A and B are shown apart, each in its own frame.
Chain A
């Protein structure tokens, strides 16, 4: 069950500065070290937080992953990615960092 591997990677991308930097500089090289399917790798590089949650990944990790690594870290962008383009309104995030 690669939910576990995804969660391991998500956790490292929340807390480990070295892994975060590697993800930024060489995502394919980093992800090659993890037993992920092509579909799962695409979820990570595409910041598909909705897909990862459907895959069973803990929402606290998808939120942390987004706020630490996404090109647009704003909570509203996270909610839009999660809910789809219909998401509206101001959103304040319980993200650990802003």
Chain B
């Protein structure tokens, strides 16, 4: 039987790569260092697989097909949107578990869209490169399973469904005959405005509200947030707290701890790092 052994909630800010020197030195050291801390703690969890939950930025998917939620069950590489210091590469996978999660979902009311060969964008590639790759470099074998939800492009996945989707991942992992040790990574947020006139604004109060819900495992509060509230206070990028909700939904009752947080206007985002404890 598989088990979810931990979780992380992290940003996937491409501006960190595009303008790495923009913030004050202490801030940028802390933020890059927070990814290192996540990697260090992931190493201690002895995971065999990570499920990284990202959101499409109207880049992977076009107007011809906008899935509510999708899982990569086969070959994975990325990122599609190559950035300075983030070149495209093959990403090790956990195909057996990914296929099992899809199949288990299909049998239990979760009609996953499936990507058999998938080039992820920065939403999955950044946490994979900064958190998982350093652990692989130590000799641990960890496969990445990408999950994409509709948080950047409407129609948005309902928050309730995002939480339920996390539950479906948990149920599948626990139904897996193998002894998989799985870590979930909710990748996104917190407040940021992407491409709108407010771009560059960060709302620390909103960010701290969301991190508080994450640290107390308050799924009801997350579910109670209306889209209008999130858009007004967290921006269109704030809708990515849905990825956090999926990870939290996979670990009901889990408490969390803030690894670090900073409102970084130069990187147009409130950067929050939380660890969830199984």
> Are A and B subunits of one complex?
yes
Instruction: Tell me the A residues contacting B by CB distance below 8 Å.
Output: 4, 7-8, 11-12, 14-15, 50, 53, 58-64, 79, 82-83, 91-98
Known pairs A8-B62, A60-B57, A64-B58; A91 contacts B18 (CB<8 A): no
Beta-carbon contact of B268 and A60 below 8 Å: no
The majority secondary structure among interface residues of chain A is: helix
Beta-carbon contact of A60 and B58 below 8 Å: yes
Pick from B58, B192, B197: contact of A94, CB below 8 A.
B192
Pick from B19, B81, B199, B237: contact of A96, CB below 8 A.
B81
Q: Which residues of A contact B199 (CB under 8 A)?
A: 79, 91, 93-94
Q: Which residues of A contact B192 (CB under 8 A)?
A: 94
The majority secondary structure among interface residues of chain B is: loop
Beta-carbon contact of B19 and A60 below 8 Å: no
Pick from B22, B58, B154: contact of A61, CB below 8 A.
B58
User: What's the least CB distance linking A86 to chain B, in Å?
Assistant: 11
Instruction: Tell me the B residues contacting A by CB distance below 8 Å.
Output: 13-15, 18-19, 22, 57-59, 62-64, 81, 83, 122, 152-154, 192, 194-197, 199-200, 236-237, 266-269
Beta-carbon contact of A15 and B196 below 8 Å: no
Beta-carbon contact of A97 and B81 below 8 Å: yes
A-B contact list, 28 entries, CB within 8 Å: A7-B58, A7-B63, A11-B63, A12-B62, A15-B62, A58-B153, A59-B195, A59-B236, A60-B58, A60-B59, A60-B153, A61-B195, A63-B194, A64-B58, A64-B59, A64-B195, A79-B199, A82-B196, A83-B197, A92-B200, A93-B199, A94-B14, A94-B192, A94-B237, A96-B14, A96-B83, A96-B122, A98-B18
User: What's the least CB distance linking B238 to chain A, in Å?
Assistant: 13
Q: Which residues of A contact B15 (CB under 8 A)?
A: 92-94
A12 to B59, CA, bound (A): 9
Q: Which residues of B contact A79 (CB under 8 A)?
A: 197, 199-200
Q: Which residues of A contact B197 (CB under 8 A)?
A: 50, 79, 82-83
A11 to B58, CA, bound (A): 7
Most buried by B among A60, A64, A94: A94
Pick from A58, A82, A91, A97: contact of B58, CB below 8 A.
A58
Pick from A4, A59, A64, A95: contact of B63, CB below 8 A.
A4
Beta-carbon contact of B200 and A63 below 8 Å: no
Most buried by A among B62, B153, B236, B267: B62
Q: Which residues of B contact A11 (CB under 8 A)?
A: 58, 62-63
Most buried by B among A8, A59, A64: A59
User: What's the least CB distance linking A7 to chain B, in Å?
Assistant: 5
User: What's the least CB distance linking A20 to chain B, in Å?
Assistant: 14
Beta-carbon contact of B195 and A63 below 8 Å: yes
A98 to B19, CA, bound (A): 10
